[in-house]
Amino acid sequence: MSMEISQQAQRRRRIHDSLPTDHPAVLDQILALMDELPDPSELSINETAGSLSPAATARNRMEAWLTAVAAEADARGTAKMLLAGTTGTMVGAATNSNPAAGSGLVNTGRELRCLPAVAAAFREGRISSWHVTALAEAAPRIDGFQQIEDSLAELASQVEPKELRRILDVLICQSIPEGADIDHNKRRTRRGLKLGERQDGMWKLSGLLDGITGQKLHDALQPLMAHTGPTDNRTATQRRADALDDLVSMARANTRPMGVSGLTVLIDVENLPEGIKAALEDGTLLGPDTFDWVSCSVALAAVFGQKTPKGFRPLALARSKRRATHDQWLALVARDRGCIRCGKPPRYTEAHHIIHWRDGGLTDLSNLCLLCSRCHHDLHMGDFDVLMGADGIPTLISGRGPPKSRTG
């Protein structure tokens, strides 16, 4: 396992170690008092609730003092005198954070020097650093901010940062008619998304989205995050990750040719060559004349097979490939109608090899079934198994342990 520290981190550590250790004695007293705080497990029920607000106030007051110290160091040119790089670099190194965080702390301290009411509320612990950031960003965009600063600082102590930002956005729009567009466009320039594979095989996704894109993503994920039943013990973040997986699967499905096909028609080959007996996926029968009309009127995808008591059994469209072909995909959709375990629509599914491909399993309809990403994962974790019946219809087998790939 590699634990090598980057050169930038090593440099910041050297700066940290070179900084003076002089500080007011009262800080040591505060730290000593914190050592006297009881373990949370020793608190009473009432104390677990009653301790939250005072603890948050203490945190806010310490952050306010730290912010003021960072601004004072910047004003005095402390970093330059100590050969510690920029003030942001010095503050970041001293607080064990990165230079950007250090610069943010310095900038907030500078802005608070022009916002006395906000600074006072911060020092008293009545508002958090998130409130301060929102107020400092809005101040130059609101006409007459100085006249309403006291009221806004008091309001901030009563509402959460998100609600405060909403109110400030309204005031910005009232001050400048095009303020909403200016504010949105300025925020949108900060948009970005990072995606990279980690050494453990997981992928890390992080970034910022503008308000409109973020809301669209939230609205798209929300309906896919519902619990699937009493045994669904996934956390909210796990359900959100699975929902994103579903969205990606749907997007990939929409790039397949079937995504532009107007209809998929199931054709019973036992009626050939005497005549075509076909049906839509929902079971609606199509006679020869209707079939001819449909084939001329819409984009058509035909799947040949046999009608059985358990449903439509497509003919094998075997290929010597690992992934299912487009024709096979159409046939799987016609037979399975979606995930055979949870019922999710085909656009959220992928083709699973019942006998694993690496074990010699064919990429053929007799060895394939549709599973959504989560159910596919659960199968490979041993939560259940799939058995292909002699009639060509896959069935589920419950049970835990290593998945057993087999046919009946």
pLDDT single digits (tens) 159-193: 999 999 999 988 887 776 554 555 556 667 778 88
Contact (Cβ atoms closer than 8 angstroms) between residue 349 and residue 399 = no
pLDDT single digits (tens) 79-122: 888 888 889 899 999 999 888 888 999 999 999 999 999 999 99
- Torsion, Cα of 303, 308, 310, 313 (10° steps): -30
- Please indicate, yes or no, whether residues 79 and 174 belong to a single structural domain of this protein: yes
Is pLDDT at 281 greater than 90 in this prediction? Answer: no
Question: Which element (helix H / strand E) includes 197?
Answer: strand 192-197
**pLDDT at site 245:** 85
Q: Does any domain span residue 217?
A: no
Last residue within a domain, chosen from 188, 206, 233:
188
- Please indicate, yes or no, whether residues 12 and 160 belong to a single structural domain of this protein: yes
Q: Does any domain span residue 64?
A: yes
Q: Does any domain span residue 30?
A: no
What is the percentage of the chain residues whose pLDDT exceeds 90?
A: 31
Q: Does any domain span residue 94?
A: yes
Q: Does any domain span residue 195?
A: no
Contact (Cβ atoms closer than 8 angstroms) between residue 405 and residue 394 = no
pLDDT single digits (tens) 13-72: 888 899 999 999 999 999 999 999 999 999 999 999 999 999 999 999 999 999 999 999
Q: Does any domain span residue 210?
A: no
- Please indicate, yes or no, whether residues 12 and 150 belong to a single structural domain of this protein: yes
Q: Does any domain span residue 44?
A: no
- Please indicate, yes or no, whether residues 12 and 144 belong to a single structural domain of this protein: yes
- Please indicate, yes or no, whether residues 123 and 262 belong to a single structural domain of this protein: no
- Please indicate, yes or no, whether residues 283 and 153 belong to a single structural domain of this protein: no
Q: How many domains does the chain have?
A: 2
pLDDT single digits (tens) 361-390: 787 888 889 988 788 878 877 788 898 888
Strands 406-407 and 384-388: parallel
Rg of the chain on CA atoms, in Å? 31
- Please indicate, yes or no, whether residues 397 and 270 belong to a single structural domain of this protein: yes
Nearest to 351 by CA among 255, 307, 362: 362
pLDDT single digits (tens) 3-12: 677 788 888 8
Q: Does any domain span residue 12?
A: yes
Contacts of 201 by beta carbon, 8 Å cutoff, 6+ apart: none
What's the token pair of residue 39? Answer: 């373990």
The answer to whether the Cα torsion of 337, 339, 345, 349 is positive or negative is negative
Q: What is the mean pLDDT of the segment spanning 336-359? A: 82
**pLDDT at site 308:** 67
- Please indicate, yes or no, whether residues 64 and 149 belong to a single structural domain of this protein: yes
Last residue within a domain, chosen from 129, 156, 188:
188
- Please indicate, yes or no, whether residues 159 and 289 belong to a single structural domain of this protein: no
Beta bridge partners of 313: 306
Distance separating alpha carbons of residues 185 and 235, to the nearest angstrom: 34
Mapped onto helix, strand or coil, the DSSP state of residue 302 is strand
Last residue within a domain, chosen from 146, 162, 188:
188
- Please indicate, yes or no, whether residues 171 and 313 belong to a single structural domain of this protein: no
- Please indicate, yes or no, whether residues 13 and 157 belong to a single structural domain of this protein: yes
What is the percentage of the chain residues whose pLDDT exceeds 70?
A: 75
Residue numbers of the domain that contains 342: 257-407
- Please indicate, yes or no, whether residues 155 and 283 belong to a single structural domain of this protein: no
**pLDDT at site 373:** 78
Is the omega angle on the peptide bond into residue 273 within 30 degrees of 0, that is, cis? yes
Contact (Cβ atoms closer than 8 angstroms) between residue 108 and residue 102 = no
What's the token pair of residue 125? Answer: 């612990």
